[in-house]
Structure 1
Amino acid sequence: MRIAWYKILSIYNIPFFTPTSPLSTIPFIWGAIVLIAFLRLEVEYDSLPD
């Protein structure tokens, strides 16, 4: 499951490395939001009883 997140994020990280411009900050912000959401989901799933 964790590997799938890294694949998604690695695809999503491509805009991060474009030359700096106002538009390049938008995917960075969304990337941070998505990453935080994934981490919160992982913590919630880890805390659930099997």
Structure 2
Amino acid sequence: MRKNESIGCTVTECRNHSNEEQYCVLEQIQVVKHNSLANTVEHTDCGSFETK
């Protein structure tokens, strides 16, 4: 799959990782929060993550 240079990614365990460089192959990602108020980086995640 072709890398998207607009989305950097170091999570090699993700199905959407380019496997060639540190990029995602998706056109866009969904960022989600897992608290009612996301005021730290720990309160957010990449909702587009899929395990390999």
Shorter-chain TM-score bucket reads: under 0.3
TM-score, normalised on structure 2? Answer: 0.22
Q: Of Structure 1 and Structure 2, which has the larger fraction of its residues in strand?
A: 2
Q: Of Structure 1 and Structure 2, which has the larger fraction of its residues in helix?
A: 1
Structure with bigger RCO (C-alpha 8 Å, 6+ apart):
2
Specify the structure having the higher radius of gyration (Cα).
1
